[in-house]
Amino acid sequence: MLQNSDAEKNVIRRIAVFCGSSRGTERIFEEQAYELGKTLAVQNIELVYGGANVGLMGTVANGVMENGGKAIGVLPVFLKKVEIANLNLTELVMVDTMHQRKAKMNELSDGVIALPGGFGTLEEFFEMLTWAQLGLHRKPVALLNVDGFYDALLALVDTMVDRGFLRKENREMLLVSDNIEDLLDKMRKYEAPSVGKWLNRAGLLNK
């Protein structure tokens, strides 16, 4: 993605959304997943997601499709029965492995948002964030912190900075908001760091 001047914004045509294949315990998780999908549709941003019709995954896709938007699902063949493929999408791409799923979602998207989820959501999200840290892409990577779901995780990330395992510049790559419109605005204004994780060979190699 090309970086823009201060007066311009990143053009975001598609966003990859990672989220749970469960609905969670609080109704607000499902409500915000649907609202995110609806907002993407209204703003003419296409959804790229895991391709299932269950949990928050299905909800965010419904929010897009029921409001005239476009949604592309990427689903590994072996999960087709477990996660139940969503056949009401603009397009459903079948792949062989989880790694191919992430690579394809990265290829198709201009940015990343994570909603609440479990191990899989975090694994997918942090791989995308790590790729950004290493300079493999320059896309905005963001958390929609619904009902404080990610507060404890963010506290851990700050501990990583405080204890010398994460540079402040890389911490600032992680965009966060509990408001959808605000989060999308931050993504449009995002500028990737001019330097990657490995600044030099002398003193910062393990940060």
Residue type, 5: S
pLDDT of the residue at 6: 42
* Residue carrying the six token digits 């911490």: 171
* CB-CB contact of 128 with 112 (8 Å): yes
Contact of 154 with 129, CB cutoff 8 Å: no
d(CA 52, CA 59): 10
Q: What is the pLDDT of residues 107-121, one digit of tens each?
A: 999 999 999 999 999
SS (HEC) of 26-41: CHHHHHHHHHHHHHHH
pLDDT digits (tens, 9 = 90+) for 55-107: 999 999 999 999 999 999 999 998 877 768 888 999 999 999 999 999 999 99
Given a cut of 90, whether residue 131 has pLDDT beyond it is: yes
Q: For position 4, what pLDDT does the model report?
A: 44
pLDDT bin (cut points 50, 70, 90) of residue 143 is: very high
**Is residue 134 predicted with pLDDT exceeding 70?**
yes
Assess whether pLDDT exceeds 70 at residue 122: yes
Question: pLDDT tens, 163-205?
Answer: 999 999 999 999 999 999 999 999 999 999 876 555 444 444 4
Summary mean pLDDT of the chain: 90
**pLDDT, position 195:** 60
Sequence letter at residue 82: V
In the chain, % of residues over pLDDT 90:
83
Contact 128, 106 (CB under 8 A): yes
Classify residue 200 by burial, with Cβ atoms within 10 Å: 0-12, 13-18, 19+.
exposed
SS3 content of the chain, % helix, strand, coil (to 5): 45, 15, 40
Q: Which residues contact 194 (CB under 8 A, 6 or more apart)?
A: none
> Residue 197 has what pLDDT?
58
Phi and psi, residue 191, nearest 5°: -125, 125
Confidence class of residue 149 from pLDDT cuts 50, 70 and 90? very high
Q: Report which of 85, 8, 72, 9 is spatially closest to residue 40, judged by C-alpha positions.
A: 72
Give the pair of three-digit tokens for residue 156: 């851990």
The residues, any chain, with a CB within 8 Å of residue 32's CB and separated by 6 or more, are: 115, 144, 146, 180
pLDDT of residue 194: 77
